[in-house]
Structure 1
Amino acid sequence: MSKICTISGKKRNNGYAISHSHVRTKKIQNVNLQTCRIWSTKQKTWVKVQVSTKAMKTLLKKRISLKK
């Protein structure tokens, strides 16, 4: 499964790891994804999704019920 947040659409970021001698090597910064369940009002069931932690904080702020 790809590492993309289903709600916010966040995905990995390319960057450089810079050593002490300033040698640059490519590195990938992945998204912090967590599998959680979100209550679907249309289907009246819990739906399992992969969500980034930033999106989880936003959902909790908007009072949308979710379980880890």
Structure 2
Amino acid sequence: MSKKCQVTNKKANNAYAISHSHIRTKRLQHINLQNKRIWSKLQSRWIRLRISTKAIKNMAKISI
């Protein structure tokens, strides 16, 4: 499974790792993905999603 949020489609960000001598090497800032079960009212069953913590926070905020 890819490292992408199934709700927001967020994925890794390109960045630099900077050493003490200021040598820059490329690295990835990965997204914080969690496996979550969410109740679907339309299908009347649990759905397993791999979503970001930001999406979990927003779902709790709007009470899904």
Do the two structures share a fold, i.e. TM-score over 0.5? yes
For 2:28, the equivalent position in structure 1 comes to: 28
User: Structure 1 residue 41: deviation in Å?
Assistant: 1.2
Instruction: State the distance in 2 between where 1:62 and 1:51 align.
Output: 16
Q: Distance in 2 between matches of 1:42 and 1:60?
A: 18
Consecutive unaligned residues of structure 1, counting only runs of 5 or more, are none
Overall identity of the aligned pairs, in %: 55
Moved >6 Å (runs of 4+): none
Aligned twin of 1:56: 56
SS of 2:59's partner is helix
Number of equivalent positions: 64
Give how far 1:24 is off: 0.5
Q: Distance in 2 between matches of 1:36 and 1:8?
A: 14
TM-score by length of 1: 0.91
